[in-house]
Structure 1
Amino acid sequence: MIHVFCNKRGSGKTKALIHLANERANNIKGNAVYIDDDSRPMHELDRRIRFITTNDFSLKDYESFYGFLCGILSEDYDVENIFVDGLFNIVSGNISDAAHFFLKIENLARKHNVEFYININHDCTEEIPDYLKKYVA
């Protein structure tokens, strides 16, 4: 399952995602992963959550990020939750170009029984693409 949280930059999405990740860490038997493009949230996360900063990797587009997610899941079969903070900060692209990416991670989520929680900087009060409507929380 994919849950997308979208709002303008500075609206508190990161704080809410950190809170959700910490809350979910208390209620899962497996592992959780938090992915961000900077390391600031690392100290606010529960120590049981694996934190990964994407600055250490050359993730340029949706395909490389998808491969990155597959690598995480192939390394740890116990991952139950993946939190992605600021998808469009991690990869170049925009909301209208991401349809194929979301379809691929939906299949990945179903196959590996993983919940994805993704923050994007986009005002959801404006028109959002049809493919994204089913994921918006």
Structure 2
Amino acid sequence: MVNLITGPRGSGKTQQMIDLANEKVKTSSGNVVFIKRSSKDTYSVDFNIRVIKMADYPDILTLEEFVGFLYGMAAGNHDIEAVFIDSILKQANITLESLPTFIEKLNKISEDAKIDFYLSVSADKAEIAGVDTLGCTVL
């Protein structure tokens, strides 16, 4: 399942994602992963959550490469239950226009690998009204 957390910049999406991840790791029998552009604002992430800074992977520049990175994570660790991706529109070249394609690919990974994805999107619900969010839950 793909879950979207939307709202304008500065509306608390990152903290909401951290809170959700911290709750998820308490009840999870597998691994929880939190992906951010940098390590900023991750001081309150539970120690048991694997934090990945995409700044450490500067060669991942396209949506396809980012999806390949996620497939690699899933293939390398079959115990991942949830992946939280903060500020998705700042990852690789993902835009509001390419978000439906990305969501479609995440739904496939989610179905195949049984991973729940949580994405924060810096956009109002009105801005993503035209985005195909079929198969997603907007939190």
TM-score computed with the length of structure 1 as normaliser: 0.93
**Residue 103 of structure 1: CA displacement?**
0.8
CA distance in 2, matches of 1:127, 1:21: 24
Question: For residue 2 of structure 1, what is the aligned residue in structure 2?
Answer: 2
Question: For residue 14 of structure 1, what is the aligned residue in structure 2?
Answer: 14
Gaps of 5+ in 2: none
Question: For residue 59 of structure 1, what is the aligned residue in structure 2?
Answer: 60
Question: For residue 23 of structure 2, what is the aligned residue in structure 1?
Answer: 23
CA distance in 1, matches of 2:33, 2:125: 25
Gaps of 5+ in 1: none
CA distance in 1, matches of 2:41, 2:73: 19
What SS class does the counterpart of residue 70 from structure 1 fall into? Answer: helix
CA distance in 2, matches of 1:42, 1:127: 26
Following superposition, which runs of at least 4 residues in structure 1 exceed 3 angstroms of deviation?
A: none
Q: Equivalent residues in 2 for 1:29-108 (5 A)?
A: 29-57=29-57, 58-108=59-109
Pick the structure with more helix per residue: 1
CA distance in 2, matches of 1:100, 1:127: 14
Identical positions, percent: 28
TM-score computed with the length of structure 2 as normaliser: 0.92
CA distance in 2, matches of 1:33, 1:133: 24
Q: Residue by residue, what CA displacement relative to the aligned partner does 1:75-117 show, whole Å, maximum 9, x if unpaired?
A: 1100000000001111223112222221111011011111000
Contact 1:62 1:98 (C-alpha < 8 Å) held by counterparts? no
Q: Residue by residue, what CA displacement relative to the aligned partner does 1:108-127 show, whole Å, maximum 9, x if unpaired?
A: 10111110000011111345
